[in-house]
Structure 1
């Protein structure tokens, strides 16, 4: 029976590789949040628009994105989109860090589709009379949404948005299929170099679990902060 030892993986190059992978996974999560959340708000507003054409655009986006696996999105942005570029630009794109940018684009569009549904539900939870009152005071539809409705909706939506952030954190692992040097890719690199599969993926499991527990705790805190009466039950 092989002797288990974590010590070789917690020093030198192997530890550096794992930490670099963890850093990139966290970076992808943070960058995607910065771009997906504004896009999700925009898509939610399209779906709630009084104009049917905008509603159709929003609904089409959400259905088109959610009905395609994230793996396909990743491969599309890595293999498909660059092929549409002129030859010179395509060579420059492939010479740069295209794996990270492709993963970022795919995660942004995918996450925004799910977040937009949560935000739409939050907007609908705000009494419609508040928007009517804002428009009666002279606000336009968009201004009333921005000043009166959205701040309340985002507060209501904070717990499910944190849950979507947890999904986003776990979804970064799929970027390994396009060679992005995130945590799973670096774990495979360490395992290939050391042949210590159990120890390597045990460490990776702890890393994913630790960040996931932090996000879960934030979601629980947000739920209690938003609904204190429910928290006392």
Structure 2
């Protein structure tokens, strides 16, 4: 599956530098409908989730920019990029000198994209396929970008992320104004205006805030 998935990704994406993070190269799609349709056809499934892994989303871009500008936040530490998509934040953490970086995703194609992208940038990122919610804390820093866009998703992950914060991890939650962001227990760390595309968003830019999630 891995080799076939990587071949599929190479065939349906192009190597590009995401907005505001020219240090990183990614395999990216330019339009959502063609890559979505191609993914459904390749998997022989209909009604699949959008191919989040094929785009650099605002939360991931802001997190990557923060880590590259302030590498001391992760240098020498164990980092988890949760719901990593194509792995932009994980790659930035590795570039910033993290002792170890893991990227967790439930989508096998996202895992393949993260591996391809990490190799493209010459960094080591271990991938964790499956739902890590409920796992004990073994990370110093947990990165979570653009994860509060649906009520079920937020309800599933937020209690666990707060437990990770209570266990001593620094949980950085990057949010571009999604509907289900919690209203309490957040400490502002960083803000960045991120250009977006009308393919993905309803506007040309998103104001992303990175919060530290409090236990």
TM exceeds 0.5?
no
TM-score (norm 2): 0.28
Greater helix proportion: 1
| Structure having the higher Rg | 1
TM-score (norm 1): 0.26
Greater strand proportion: 2
